Amino acid sequence: MPSGGFDEEALKKHLEAGRIAAKVRDEAVSRIRPGAGLLDICEWVERRIVELGGKPAFPCNISVDSVAAHYTPPPGDETLVPEGSVVKLDVGVQVDGYIADTAVTVSFNPDHDALLEAAREALEAALSVIRPGAKFRDVGRVVEETITRFGFKPIKNLSGHSLGRYLIHAGESIPNTGEPLRFGTFKPGHAYAIEPFATNGAGYVRDSREYYIYAVVKIRAKGLRSFEARLLSEAYSRFRTLPFTARWLLDLGEGKDVVAGLERLVKRRVVHAYPVLVEAAGGLVSQFEHTVFITEDDVVVTTRSTKL
Ligand code: MN
Ligand code: MN
């Protein structure tokens, strides 16, 4: 185990965030079934995180079929889990800013089992090559090899990422393909999210026009109406620069007013919007994700299931 100059406190908090994220993810799986409301599932996930002593690091993402990522139900969303669908649930937990990021895919059509298995095995293959000093591109290589072996494609423009304190994407990307021109190594004291995506489509995602997840990028702007100024200052004081949803600001106004206010803040570029990401050819997408913490001589998967 780490010693001397190593940040024990960071490891402890990563482990706590990971324990909560894994438990919530595993408990949530049984709530995802055809006919269940996406909003109910996500509200349950976010409430459960708090009950267990954490805070959401980002809004619960629930992405159906060819939606790969970045869908969270907007206020009043009535969307239900469709029959026969492929559903990704992506859960983020922070404890004192230390983040666990984990995802699972469930499907309601056995024809899609292999698509899920491809991403699940790719994640295990990736974890098996990670150690202090391992190269990011070795992860990309085994992810691509595994997914290709199943007859699918990895999504090449989605990647894993380094995690910082209060930062979901701390600057380094862990590729899901084996392109040789990717540098970087896993460093002790750092945490990374590893997340292969598999698809039967084109192998890349594009931005849709919809967005439901936001983050503050500037804490001040001139000439805002008082409602927008209030939304901005509340969002920053509650979430800092972490992603949030309009659902978390409903104490400030009606859903449609909060959404409209956030839209004006996005246009003013003081708030960033994350577009919903969809598979370019409309392919189905599966994803599995774990967070790892690198110690001086080992790797800890903080988001492993702890069912005994
Ligand atoms: Mn994630
Ligand atoms: Mn992630």
Q: How far is the CA of 25 from the centre of ligand 2 (A)?
A: 14
Q: How far is the CA of 229 from the centre of ligand 2 (A)?
A: 30
- Mean pLDDT throughout 181-206? 95
**Residue 68 in contact with residue 283, Cβ under 8 Å?**
no
pTM of this structure: 0.95
Per-residue model confidence as pLDDT tens digits over 12-69: 999 999 999 999 999 999 999 999 999 999 999 999 999 999 999 999 999 999 999 9
Amino acid, single-letter form, for residue 177: T
Q: Which sequence positions are flagged as catalytic?
A: 90, 101, 161, 169, 195, 289
Ligand number nearest CA of 92 is: 1
41 with 123, same domain: the answer is yes
Tell me if residue 137 falls in helix, strand or coil. helix
**Residue 222 in contact with residue 74, Cβ under 8 Å?**
no
Q: How far is the CA of 169 from the centre of ligand 2 (A)?
A: 8
Amino acid, single-letter form, for residue 228: E
Ligand number nearest CA of 25 is: 1
Task: Reply yes or no on whether the pLDDT at 5 is more than 50.
Answer: no
236 with 146, same domain: the answer is no
What's the full length of the chain, in residues?
308
Residue 306, domain member (yes or no): no
Ligand number nearest CA of 91 is: 1
Task: Reply yes or no on whether the pLDDT at 182 is more than 80.
Answer: no
272 with 283, same domain: the answer is no
Residue 2, domain member (yes or no): no
Q: How far is the CA of 194 from the centre of ligand 2 (A)?
A: 7
- In angstroms, what CA-CA distances link 226 with 83, 223, 232? 44, 9, 10
Q: How many domains does the chain have?
A: 2
Tell me if residue 302 falls in helix, strand or coil. coil
Q: What is the DSSP string of 5-71?
A: S--HHHHHHHHHHHHHHHHHHHHHHTT--TT-BHHHHHHHHHHHHHHTT-EESSPPEEEETTEEE--
196 with 252, same domain: the answer is no
pLDDT band per the 50, 70, 90 thresholds, residue 308: very low
Indicate which CATH number applies to the domain containing 224: 1.10.10.10
Domain that holds residue 244: 211-276
- Dist. CA 186–CA 119, nearest whole Å: 21
